[in-house]
């Protein structure tokens, strides 16, 4: 019983806060399929178009400024990065996609690596698919959603940069994302609005992550 579409309660939010406030270490950066670390702990992966705010979100979740590298150059992260959260969970930062200025061969290498990871990971509990709340679901995101559906990998849309929108616009962005999600078999029906800048939605996303990973509060 890991899944609750209606969101997470105060107990899970507090348990998640504690877990994410604890140790978090970079454990591996895999640039090839052969160098992916052996599966062990439950994993939650983060995917999205380059520049969507993925590194910033991983940093906001873990309360660190520089765990994941925030880049001014889109398309910078070229490997699958694994972070060990309290020896209970791996956070997995996948390479950004949809950046037009990389060569075709490089694009293919990234896609092959991300696909191999996504298809062959029994411990992967969910992919957080990041969507820029200002732009909504783009063609490259739809492609990724189709691939995740085909691979039967559970995923959830997470809206980023909501500090750039007004309250009513955020509600519209969430509703639009949820409309798209409902058309995809492997997508969670709820979209989560977040801002790494203000911290809005971060406690709720942490709670969603530990709930999805099947982690209980430790007293």
Name the burial class of residue 88, with classes exposed (0-12), middle (13-18) and buried (19+) by CB atoms within 10 angstroms of its CB.
Answer: middle
Strands 155-160 and 192-193: parallel
Name the burial class of residue 165, with classes exposed (0-12), middle (13-18) and buried (19+) by CB atoms within 10 angstroms of its CB.
Answer: middle
Q: Does the footprint of ligand GDP cover residue 193 (CB under 6 A)?
A: no
Asked if 53 contacts 96 with a C-beta cutoff of 8 angstroms, the reply is: no
Q: Which residues contact 185 (CB under 8 A, 6 or more apart)?
A: 149
Asked if 44 contacts 209 with a C-beta cutoff of 8 angstroms, the reply is: yes
Give the nearer residue to ligand GDP in terms of CB position, either 109 or 123: 109
Site string for ligand GDP, 84-113 (x = CB under 6 A): ------------x-----------------
Q: Does the footprint of ligand GDP cover residue 42 (CB under 6 A)?
A: no
Q: How many residues bind to ligand GDP according to rule CB under 6 A?
A: 19
Q: How far apart are CA 34 and CA 71, in angstroms?
A: 26
DSSP 8-class letter at 143: H
Can you tell me which of 17, 33, 63, 71 binds ligand GDP, judged by CB under 6 A? 71
Q: Does the footprint of ligand GDP cover residue 195 (CB under 6 A)?
A: yes
Q: Does the footprint of ligand GDP cover residue 81 (CB under 6 A)?
A: no
Give the nearer residue to ligand GDP in terms of CB position, either 15 or 132: 132
Q: Does the footprint of ligand GDP cover residue 50 (CB under 6 A)?
A: yes
Give the nearer residue to ligand GDP in terms of CB position, either 174 or 215: 174
Q: Cβ of residue 109: shortest distance to ligand GDP, in angstroms?
A: 17
Q: Does the footprint of ligand GDP cover residue 55 (CB under 6 A)?
A: yes
Closest to 160 in 3D by CA, of 190, 123, 188, 191: 191
Give the nearer residue to ligand GDP in terms of CB position, either 15 or 83: 83
Q: Cβ of residue 197: shortest distance to ligand GDP, in angstroms?
A: 4
Q: Does the footprint of ligand GDP cover residue 52 (CB under 6 A)?
A: yes
Give the nearer residue to ligand GDP in terms of CB position, either 15 or 77: 77
Q: Does the footprint of ligand GDP cover residue 62 (CB under 6 A)?
A: no
Closest to 190 in 3D by CA, of 203, 41, 42, 204: 204
Q: Which residues bind ligand GDP (CB under 6 A)?
A: 48, 50-56, 70-71, 74, 96, 160-161, 163-164, 195-197
């Amino acid at each position: 019983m890991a899944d609750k579409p209606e969101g997470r309660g105060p107990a899970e939010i507090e348990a998640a806060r504690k877990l994410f406030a604890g140790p978090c270490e970079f454990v591996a950066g895999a640039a090839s399929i052969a160098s992916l670390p052996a599966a062990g702990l439950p994993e939650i992966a983060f995917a999205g178009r380059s520049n969507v705010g993925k590194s910033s979100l991983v940093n906001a979740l873990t309360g660190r400024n520089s765990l994941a590298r925030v880049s001014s150059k889109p398309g910078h992260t070229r490997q699958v990065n694994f972070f060990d959260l309290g020896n209970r969970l791996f956070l997995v930062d996948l390479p950004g996609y949809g950046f037009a200025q990389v060569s075709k061969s490089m694009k293919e290498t990234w896609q092959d690596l991300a696909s191999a990871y996504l298809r062959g990971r029994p411990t992967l509990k969910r992919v957080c698919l990041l969507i820029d709340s200002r732009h909504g679901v783009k063609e490259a995101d739809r492609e990724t959603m189709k691939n995740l559906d085909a691979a039967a990998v559970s995923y959830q849309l997470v809206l980023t940069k909501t500090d750039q929108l007004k309250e009513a616009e955020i509600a519209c962005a969430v509703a639009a994302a949820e409309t798209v999600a409902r058309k995809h078999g492997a997508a969670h029906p709820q979209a989560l609005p977040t801002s790494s800048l203000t911290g809005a939605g971060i406690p709720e996303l942490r709670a969603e992550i530990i709930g999805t990973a099947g982690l209980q509060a430790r007293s």
